[in-house]
A and B are shown apart, each in its own frame.
Chain A
Amino acid sequence: MSHSLDGFTPTSVENPETLEGLSNSLAKIHGASLSAVPWGGGTRIGVGNVPSGYDVAIDLSSFTGEIEHEPGDMTVIANAGVTIGRLNNVLAAEGQRLAFEVGNPANATVGGSVASNAPGHRQSSTGGIRDWVIGMQTVLADGTVTKSGGRVVKNVQGYEMHRLNTGAFGTLGVISQVAFKLLPLPAEQQTIIAWFDEHDTAREVGMRFVNGLFMPEAITLVSGPAANKVISASGESAPAERTYALMARVGGGIRAVERQVNEVVGAIGAQGAIGYAVLSDDATAHAWNELDGVVYTAGLAVRFISRTSVALNAALDIESHPAIIDAGSVSSIVDLGFGSSTITATPPDDETVLRVARIIREKLSEKPGSYVIEKCPLNVKQDMDVFSDVGSSIDLMRRIKAEYDPTNTLNPGRFAGKI
């Protein structure tokens, strides 16, 4: 794998396979006053600002070790380099799974997913990764190994450094091992996709579930080309007009799934959906993967997190902006349970991407919430902070960085506020 990033090519690559190896690598880098970027599977390595320095890549894909799964305790401990896909395969053998999902699980690693706080569709119901991390081991910039939390599902002992490191993009230490709380695999899963010609109707039906009888495992309102893609993935032909697709994945025992499907189908029928499809098993996974594909192939993807109603309005506001419509292929994917909108666009050239990115940033900065530009060309990163403004706690965050990585060795400049 090439370890080039944002125009930088590292002068060397470390491939630690053991904790000792990782600690030694960091001590060496630190001793030589170099800067380093930790790598997992590279699926989200592009998220973050342009580094202010990048001498060494620390590739953790060989740091896999043993997976310690305790089915009776519903916990697992895995090293940073284990892929989410492999981990879920091990867990599935005992009827369990990680509570969260990530895109591209075949390549995404435990360390990279946790460090970058990777989003996934099931966050509608189970929340973000940080709620499922119960313990963590990290290696600080100078090679010191530290840990926090524990391996039991419930533990409150000392500061929760594992929460601080989740989503810290490896700027405080390199995550070497994570303990997760797990969930049982549902007996059955189905996905209902319904499409509407009116945004408000789709929204109303979706919110009725989010605030109603039950929360689907995942519930998303999709618009634009992305909507057409998921409709096609369900085997139906998408309408020519701009369409709003509501996707709801339900899970549980057979009777519970049947009831949920009936409730959703009943509600969409009463609200005059143009069409709908009910997918089971493999078809379900395919439809959601298609949605991930929209984000991967986009020239620009911005994720905005807010109260659901704000996230919905922001998406609608941006996708109806004339300059953005002109730029072409704008889609939005709104997670109604979690409260996030991912806006994607595929403008023809980098200059147009930058123009669109500036408009989106301006629109989102007016609203309460936070955003991150998940995907963009280098010229956008050179123009703006890819993370939204941190606000009044930026000084405290800088002090935290200075406490854990005073030499600015790890991922310098790549985090929020260019930390």
Chain B
Amino acid sequence: MSPETSVSPALISDLSQIVGDQYVIWRSGDLLVYEYDGSIDKATPQAVVLPATAEEVAEVVKIANKHGAYIVARGAGTSLSGGAVPLRDSVVIALTRLTDLVEVDAENRVAIVEPGMINLHLSQQVSHLGLFYAPDPASQKTCTIGGNIGENAGGPHCLALGVTTNHVLGLEVVLADGSLTWFGGTERESTGYDLRGAFVGSEGTLGIVTKIAVRLLPKPETTHTMLAAFTTMDGASNTVSEIIAAGMVPSALEMMDRKTIDAVEPFYHPGYPDEAEAVLIVEVDGLKEAVEEQTETVLAICNKNGAMEIREAEDEETRAKLWETRKGAIGAYGTIAPTYYLVDGVVPRTKLREVLQQVDQIAAELDITVANVFHAGDGNIHPAILFNDRNPEEVKQAILAGAKILEACVAAGGALSGEHGIGIEKQAYMPLVFNEEDLKAMARLRTAFIGESPADAPIAVPSLGERFNPGKVFPGGAVHGEAYGITPESFRPTGTHDWQ
């Protein structure tokens, strides 16, 4: 972490000329809030700049280049993988002043927004047109669409509608040399390589997005939400499998375990049955007739698998009530422990039960508490490791547990991340899934975007390839939990589980 004195007055002066004094932050006390995101990692930036336009972002990139500084783009800082943590004395470009809805074309269901727009605000601003923006991360009240692009964010309703990348039509991007260009446009396909597809989910390592063209969807005619409580996890898991086997893709299929039920009860008083070991939320939407047909099937499957109580909602108010505990679960973990580490892994739907049992075993072996709330429909699990971050030993155990859980996901044929990204958290685990050639092939894309320093470049010169968001995605970039004294030797992934 850099002391205040390491800031170059020339850099600050140059940045101020672009955005004005009040939008350059460099005093150590003021930088504190930019050290963190939603993960457990942290690092202090050299300075934070808040540009107001795409052109200013481009100029700031040029200034950072001139001073040889690394650059980290930041939205609301809700990343759960350390995606917004500014390693290596970076200059943070905070995009929170670029919040405009630039264009709405209702007839063609297209919107163009600035990256600092809060995810939920877009749906709110187009609601009167009968439209909505589909990707809905749990943090949608605070996270930005620019950040969603970086991490290719998902959400509960991605089961049927897809993640961020499926809804992006085009991107205006500031490249490494400070030039502004568009990838794609406002149409579904564009000529040449799919640069927007390559850019979405690249975690801010390839450039900075300054405008985003997205698809909007018409609101469904009917939505029906069901919440079912089960005495066993098996009952809930089997219900999930049978719903999929029945030829349905509900709009959401979410599960909470007993520990999560315990955490939410004092906050929201849902009054779930004492014997409930799992609560399942199933939402179906579309035409009234389709919703009726699917609702009948879902209820029959829930009953067959021993649901002890089923609640249903047709209207917004009741639906919000049913979703309240699911959406508030993460916050409610505060009643159990001071800190949580929300792991994000994916397993084949058919291996859900098996991997959750392994998660329980890992928790027992390491003597830590793990609560589960997750997207059951697409096998995207989110074990929340609950610990006290003031106890270094607990931190170590938490990080070790996360590593073991991810290893179990990959071994089951799954993925390291479903929606949180790799960031600092998982870069060391990338070799679990990808071999050296795979990673080299990915690195070539970054080289094409950014360039690469010559092999004989002096060590003091920042590595050109890592110009944007250094230390993320690729293994060896950083140490997850370094702020808590974790060293690379603390744990090592132990094998590779190629999906081929």
Asked if A408 lies at the interface with its beta carbon under 8 angstroms from chain B, I say no
B residues less than 8 Å from A160 (CB atoms): 152, 165, 197-198, 200-201
Known contacts A146-B437, A400-B193, A415-B192; is-contact A95 B287 (Cβ 8 Å): no
A321 to chain B, nearest CB (A): 22
Contact indicator per residue, chain B 393-426, by CB within 8 Å of chain A (1) or not (0): 0000000000000000000011111111110001
List, sorted by A's number, 12 A–B pairs whose CB atoms are closer than 8 Å.
A128-B188, A152-B379, A154-B346, A154-B378, A155-B414, A155-B416, A156-B151, A156-B415, A158-B473, A164-B195, A392-B179, A393-B195
Asked if B72 lies at the interface with its beta carbon under 8 angstroms from chain A, I say no
B residues less than 8 Å from A95 (CB atoms): 247
A150 near B346 (CB under 8 angstroms)?
yes
Asked if B319 lies at the interface with its beta carbon under 8 angstroms from chain A, I say no
Q: Which of A306-337 contact B (CB under 8 A)?
A: 306-310
Compute how far the CA of A400 lies from the CA of B187 in the bound complex, rounded to whole angstroms: 23
B463 to chain A, nearest CB (A): 17
A241 to chain B, nearest CB (A): 28
Asked if A2 lies at the interface with its beta carbon under 8 angstroms from chain B, I say no
A157 near B500 (CB under 8 angstroms)?
no
Compute how far the CA of A213 lies from the CA of B446 in the bound complex, rounded to whole angstroms: 43
* B348 touches which of A73, A137, A161, A392 (Cβ 8 Å): A73
Compute how far the CA of A184 lies from the CA of B187 in the bound complex, rounded to whole angstroms: 27
A185 near B247 (CB under 8 angstroms)?
yes
Compute how far the CA of A211 lies from the CA of B109 in the bound complex, rounded to whole angstroms: 8
A: residues with CB less than 8 A from B are: 70-75, 95-96, 117, 123, 127-128, 130-131, 135, 137, 140, 144-148, 150-161, 163-164, 166-168, 172, 177, 179, 183-185, 187, 207, 211-215, 252-256, 258-260, 305-310, 338-340, 368-372, 387-394, 396-397, 399-400, 402-404, 415-417, 419
Q: Closest B-chain residue to A184, C-beta based? A: B247
A9 to chain B, nearest CB (A): 28
Residue among A70, A153, A159, A187 with the highest chain B CB neighbour number at 10 A = A159
Q: Which of B80-123 contact A (CB under 8 A)?
A: 105-110
Q: Closest B-chain residue to A134, C-beta based? A: B415
A residues less than 8 Å from B244 (CB atoms): 72, 74
Residue among B130, B294, B442 with the highest chain A CB neighbour number at 10 A = B442
Known contacts A394-B192, A397-B192; is-contact A150 B287 (Cβ 8 Å): no
* New contact pairs (16) apart from A158-B439, A305-B187, A396-B195, CB-CB < 8 Å: A71-B245, A147-B434, A147-B500, A152-B378, A152-B418, A154-B419, A155-B346, A161-B198, A164-B198, A256-B289, A260-B287, A307-B110, A339-B187, A339-B188, A368-B186, A388-B191
A residues less than 8 Å from B249 (CB atoms): 74, 183-184
A residues less than 8 Å from B163 (CB atoms): 154, 156
Compute how far the CA of A387 lies from the CA of B193 in the bound complex, rounded to whole angstroms: 12
Asked if B259 lies at the interface with its beta carbon under 8 angstroms from chain A, I say no
Asked if B202 lies at the interface with its beta carbon under 8 angstroms from chain A, I say yes
Q: Closest B-chain residue to A207, C-beta based? A: B107
B202 near A159 (CB under 8 angstroms)?
yes
Asked if B62 lies at the interface with its beta carbon under 8 angstroms from chain A, I say no
Known contacts A153-B379, A154-B346, A403-B444; is-contact A307 B186 (Cβ 8 Å): yes
A269 to chain B, nearest CB (A): 20
B162 near A213 (CB under 8 angstroms)?
no
B451 to chain A, nearest CB (A): 9
B380 near A167 (CB under 8 angstroms)?
no
Compute how far the CA of A130 lies from the CA of B200 in the bound complex, rounded to whole angstroms: 13
Contact indicator per residue, chain B 111-143, by CB within 8 Å of chain A (1) or not (0): 000000000000000000010000000000000
Q: Closest B-chain residue to A253, C-beta based? A: B293
Asked if B317 lies at the interface with its beta carbon under 8 angstroms from chain A, I say no
Contact indicator per residue, chain B 162-202, by CB within 8 Å of chain A (1) or not (0): 11011000000001000101110111111111110110111
Known contacts A157-B422, A403-B445; is-contact A168 B193 (Cβ 8 Å): yes
B: residues with CB less than 8 A from A are: 105-110, 130, 151-152, 154, 158, 162-163, 165-166, 175, 179, 181-183, 185-195, 197-198, 200-202, 218, 221, 241, 244-245, 247-249, 286-290, 292-294, 346-350, 375, 378-380, 413-422, 426, 430, 433-434, 437-442, 444-449, 473, 498-500
Q: Closest B-chain residue to A338, C-beta based? A: B188
B205 to chain A, nearest CB (A): 9
A305 near B188 (CB under 8 angstroms)?
yes
* A164 touches which of B292, B445, B498 (Cβ 8 Å): B445
A150 near B433 (CB under 8 angstroms)?
yes
B437 near A131 (CB under 8 angstroms)?
no
B residues less than 8 Å from A96 (CB atoms): 247
B200 near A307 (CB under 8 angstroms)?
no
A167 near B198 (CB under 8 angstroms)?
no
B437 near A252 (CB under 8 angstroms)?
no
A187 near B448 (CB under 8 angstroms)?
no
Compute how far the CA of A163 lies from the CA of B152 in the bound complex, rounded to whole angstroms: 13
A residues less than 8 Å from B442 (CB atoms): 148, 158-159, 161
Q: Closest A-chain residue to B348, C-beta based? A: A73
B287 near A158 (CB under 8 angstroms)?
no
A residues less than 8 Å from B347 (CB atoms): 152
B91 to chain A, nearest CB (A): 23
Residue among B154, B346, B473, B498 with the highest chain A CB neighbour number at 10 A = B346
Compute how far the CA of A213 lies from the CA of B289 in the bound complex, rounded to whole angstroms: 12
B residues less than 8 Å from A392 (CB atoms): 179, 181-182
B416 near A157 (CB under 8 angstroms)?
yes
* A156 touches which of B191, B288, B419, B438 (Cβ 8 Å): B419
Compute how far the CA of A252 lies from the CA of B185 in the bound complex, rounded to whole angstroms: 32
A148 near B197 (CB under 8 angstroms)?
no
A164 to chain B, nearest CB (A): 5
* B415 touches which of A154, A177, A415 (Cβ 8 Å): A154
Known contacts A70-B350, A157-B430, A161-B442; is-contact A393 B192 (Cβ 8 Å): yes
B286 to chain A, nearest CB (A): 7
Compute how far the CA of A211 lies from the CA of B404 in the bound complex, rounded to whole angstroms: 47
* B413 touches which of A152, A214, A307, A396 (Cβ 8 Å): A152
B99 to chain A, nearest CB (A): 24
A residues less than 8 Å from B289 (CB atoms): 253, 255-256, 258-259
Known contacts A135-B499, A146-B437; is-contact A164 B348 (Cβ 8 Å): no
A155 near B191 (CB under 8 angstroms)?
no
B356 to chain A, nearest CB (A): 15
A residues less than 8 Å from B438 (CB atoms): 146-148, 158
Compute how far the CA of A152 lies from the CA of B331 in the bound complex, rounded to whole angstroms: 28
Known contacts A339-B188, A393-B181; is-contact A70 B348 (Cβ 8 Å): yes
A residues less than 8 Å from B105 (CB atoms): 307
B residues less than 8 Å from A163 (CB atoms): 165, 194, 197-198
B185 near A150 (CB under 8 angstroms)?
no
Compute how far the CA of A314 lies from the CA of B183 in the bound complex, rounded to whole angstroms: 23
B430 near A158 (CB under 8 angstroms)?
yes
* B448 touches which of A310, A388, A402, A417 (Cβ 8 Å): A402
Compute how far the CA of A392 lies from the CA of B174 in the bound complex, rounded to whole angstroms: 12
A256 near B293 (CB under 8 angstroms)?
yes
A residues less than 8 Å from B107 (CB atoms): 207, 211, 307-309
Known contacts A167-B194, A388-B191; is-contact A151 B447 (Cβ 8 Å): no
* A372 touches which of B187, B191, B197 (Cβ 8 Å): B191
Q: Closest A-chain residue to B443, C-beta based? A: A159
Compute how far the CA of A166 lies from the CA of B198 in the bound complex, rounded to whole angstroms: 11
Give the 9 A-B residue pairs with the shortest CB-CB distance, closest first: A163-B197, A155-B415, A184-B247, A256-B290, A307-B108, A72-B350, A146-B441, A255-B289, A253-B293
Compute how far the CA of A144 lies from the CA of B185 in the bound complex, rounded to whole angstroms: 33
Q: Closest B-chain residue to A211, C-beta based? A: B218
B120 to chain A, nearest CB (A): 21
B160 to chain A, nearest CB (A): 10
Compute how far the CA of A82 lies from the CA of B61 in the bound complex, rounded to whole angstroms: 47
* A154 touches which of B158, B191, B439, B473 (Cβ 8 Å): B158
A389 near B430 (CB under 8 angstroms)?
no
A125 to chain B, nearest CB (A): 11
A390 near B187 (CB under 8 angstroms)?
no
A351 to chain B, nearest CB (A): 27
Compute how far the CA of A307 lies from the CA of B104 in the bound complex, rounded to whole angstroms: 12
